[in-house]
């Protein structure tokens, strides 16, 4: 396939312009058109023709499209692409409702089309290394996953709150690195910035193997933080996804002779290792993996079913916050397996 895949892009917002940059330079792919009704006064389309409608893009004859329009439009645009037999990489969250996400899963799966969700943290070097190490059993039994994702309010977001925009990152990465599903959720939200949607959430959860989970997410902090900690029987992995650094803090192998100090500390500090990890741009890795999936040479993508699961858990977070009750999660896939 010397001409490469013909790709299109829908949306030139803060994420769309980055997708355009990567697509324009991606090996074996040609960016043939971009849809944005607002046009392209800043040249973000990388020289590709800028169109007003999805229909015009489909008419160009594309192999796949990247959907980077507002979340509320994901379902409508995705269904158009599926109806036209076009593969799609849809930005996260997959849809703004569980029902919409399910309709997208059905539309693409029933046609045998490759489709994925842009949960970019799966392509962060620190988290990819962490997942590999957990799969290899380096931590032993996993006890707890803790994430903090906080920073100032991003003016790019108008249609959803922190749960659907930011917490879905942590929901997906937690399930992905551990290989487990959420079983229950208890959450609290606050509204402090005068907007219709929540701007802070605190989540306590439990995975199907009993692993404890805590997420703290907000748009109210001057400190930008992207922190993931996984604690198990041999120590803790700490991932900073802003810098793509991964460190391991091991439980001490040296006994503490001072009896009173040993009793106070419990598990004491051991060695700390910072791993040397190749640090490629996560968005480029995401595009390479999706291109390879469309070509049939790889299946290492976040599937629409994965994206649906994140939307289901996000809905449970909002339900718990609204009701003040712990919510038990029974996804369709878990129910099918009797879990």
Query: What pLDDT shows up at residue 196?
Result: 83
pLDDT in tens, 183-215: 999 999 999 888 888 999 999 999 999 999 999
Query: What pLDDT shows up at residue 266?
Result: 47
Query: What pLDDT shows up at residue 194?
Result: 81
Query: What pLDDT shows up at residue 153?
Result: 83
Structural class in CATH, domain 122-280+311-333: alpha beta
**Average pLDDT, integer, range 45-66:** 97
**Average pLDDT, integer, range 98-105:** 97
Query: What pLDDT shows up at residue 242?
Result: 95
Query: What pLDDT shows up at residue 331?
Result: 58
Considering only CA atoms, which of 113, 50, 104, 68 is closest in space to residue 86? 113
Query: Over pLDDT 70: what percentage of the chain?
Result: 90
CA count, 13 A, side-chain hemisphere, 51? 17
**Average pLDDT, integer, range 33-41:** 95
Query: What pLDDT shows up at residue 336?
Result: 42
How distant is the alpha carbon of residue 78 from its chain centre? 18
* Residue 43 confidence (pLDDT) above 90: yes
* Residue 335 confidence (pLDDT) above 70: no
Q: Is 203 helix (H, G, I), strand (E, B) or coil?
A: strand
Band of pLDDT at residue 256, cut at 50, 70 and 90: low
Return the minimum-mean-pLDDT range out of 27-36, 98-107, 153-162, 302-311: 153-162
Q: What is the mean pLDDT of the chain?
A: 91
- Residue 91 backbone phi and psi in degrees, to 5: -60, 155
Is this prediction's pTM over 0.85?
Answer: yes
pLDDT in tens, 164-185: 989 999 999 999 999 999 999 9
Please provide the distance, in angstroms rounded to a whole number, between the alpha carbons at the two ends of the chain.
Answer: 43
Domain boundaries, the chain: 5-120+283-301, 122-280+311-333
pLDDT in tens, 209-251: 999 999 999 999 999 999 999 999 999 999 999 999 999 999 8
Contact predicate 202/187, CB 8 Å: yes
Domain 5-120+283-301, what fold?
Rossmann fold (3.40.50)
* Residue 267 confidence (pLDDT) above 80: no
Band of pLDDT at residue 271, cut at 50, 70 and 90: confident
**Average pLDDT, integer, range 9-37:** 97
Interatomic CA distance for residues 140 and 302, integer angstroms: 26
Residues 6+ apart with CB under 8 A from 289: 123, 298, 300, 301
């Amino acid at each position: 396939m010397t001409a490469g895949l013909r790709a299109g892009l829908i949306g030139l917002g803060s994420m769309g312009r980055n997708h355009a940059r990567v697509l324009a330079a991606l090996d074996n792919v040609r960016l043939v058109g971009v849809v944005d009704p607002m046009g392209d006064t800043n040249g973000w389309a990388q020289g590709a023709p800028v169109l007003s409608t999805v229909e015009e893009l489909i008419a160009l004859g594309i192999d796949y499209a990247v959907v980077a329009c507002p979340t509320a439009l994901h379902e409508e645009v995705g269904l158009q692409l599926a109806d036209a037999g076009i593969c799609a990489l849809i930005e996260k969250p997959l849809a703004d409702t569980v029902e919409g996400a399910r309709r997208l899963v059905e539309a693409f799966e029933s046609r045998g089309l490759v489709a994925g969700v842009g949960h970019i943290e799966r392509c962060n070097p620190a988290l990819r290394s962490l997942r590999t190490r957990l799969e290899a059993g380096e931590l032993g039994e996993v006890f707890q996953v803790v994430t903090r994702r906080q920073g100032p309010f991003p003016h790019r977001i108008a249609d959803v709150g922190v749960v659907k925009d930011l917490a879905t990152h942590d929901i997906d990465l937690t399930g992905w690195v551990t290989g487990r599903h959420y079983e229950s959720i208890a959450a609290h939200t606050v509204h402090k910035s005068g907007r219709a949607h929540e701007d802070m959430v605190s989540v306590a959860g439990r995975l199907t193997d009993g692993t404890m989970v805590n997420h703290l997410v907000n748009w109210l902090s001057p400190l930008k933080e992207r922190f993931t900690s996984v604690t198990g029987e041999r120590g803790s992995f700490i991932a900073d996804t802003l810098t793509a650094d991964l460190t391991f803090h091991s439980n001490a192998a040296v006994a503490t002779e001072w009896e009173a100090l040993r009793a106070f500390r419990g598990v004491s500090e051991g060695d700390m290792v910072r791993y040397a990890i190749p640090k490629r741009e996560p968005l480029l890795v995401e595009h390479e993996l999706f291109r390879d999936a469309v070509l049939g040479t790889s299946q290492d993508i976040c599937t629409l079913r994965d994206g649906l699961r994140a939307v289901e858990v996000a809905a449970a977070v909002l339900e718990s916050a609204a009701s003040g009750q712990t919510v038990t999660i029974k996804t369709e896939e878990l129910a099918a397996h009797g879990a």
